[in-house]
Amino acid sequence: MDREQALGLVRERVKNENLVNHMLATEAIMGALARRLGGDEERWRLAGLLHDLDVEETAERMDVHGNLTVEWLREAGLDDEEVLQAIRAHNAANGSTVGCAMDRALFACDCLSGLVTAAALIRPEKKLAPVELKSLKKRFKEPSFAKGARREDIMTCSELGLELEEFLAIGLDAMKGVADELGL
């Protein structure tokens, strides 16, 4: 499955534009992480783009979130087990476990994309361009800021061999690279 096909599935299945933007942001971060960690960028980006494909349908049943996406993707012809496993593993509530680097990256950057988005949206111009790493680090330390961006999940970046500051910088830079597509 190529990006165009994947984006078509996202547009078909996901109606909430903020959720689509989250998936696009996660895709960008996953691509940057693949470059940094020596992963297959196309496959890592695919996992990031598709990871929340079923979330609107499974919002009330997080124990199946990710599993339904995998089922849909198999039906659509995606047979890349590593990508499918990363999608499953990004949601601990479905009983999956994080194994390889792609799993860990998706698990950690899922929440990071929300933190970076919130850092942009509190600015008067509501744009990513003026967000600096220094302010993102400060916001990370504020538990009341972007409460849904679970800090403990973001900090699992250490299991990828990345210091928190580098991980935040990678995520911020990646999202700035697609800011127009995100409307930020």
Show me where the domains of the chain are located. Answer: 3-182
Compute the distance between CA of residue 61 and CA of residue 76 in angstroms, rounded to an integer: 23
Query: Which pLDDT does position 57 carry in this prediction?
Result: 94
Query: Which pLDDT does position 10 carry in this prediction?
Result: 98
Q: In whole angstroms, how far apart are CA 78 and each of 5, 50, 58?
A: 10, 11, 21
Give the predicted TM-score (pTM) of the model: 0.96
Q: What are the phi and psi torsion angles at 38 (to 5°)?
A: 80, 25
Question: Residue 79 CB: number of other CB atoms within 10 A?
Answer: 10
Kindly state which CATH superfamily the domain 3-182 is placed in.
Answer: Hypothetical protein af1432 (1.10.3210.10)
Query: Which pLDDT does position 74 carry in this prediction?
Result: 97
Helix (H, G, I), strand (E, B) or coil at 152: helix
Mean pLDDT for all residues in the chain: 96
Question: Residue 168 CB: number of other CB atoms within 10 A?
Answer: 22
Over residues 131-151, the pLDDT tens digits come to 999 999 999 999 999 999 999
Helix (H, G, I), strand (E, B) or coil at 178: coil
Confidence of residue 98 (pLDDT cuts 50, 70, 90): confident
Q: How many residues does the chain have?
A: 184
Q: Residue 101 pLDDT > 90, yes or no?
A: yes
Query: Which pLDDT does position 94 carry in this prediction?
Result: 74
Over residues 76-97, the pLDDT tens digits come to 999 999 999 999 999 877 778 8
Compute the distance between CA of residue 138 and CA of residue 136 in angstroms, rounded to an integer: 5
Query: Which pLDDT does position 95 carry in this prediction?
Result: 77
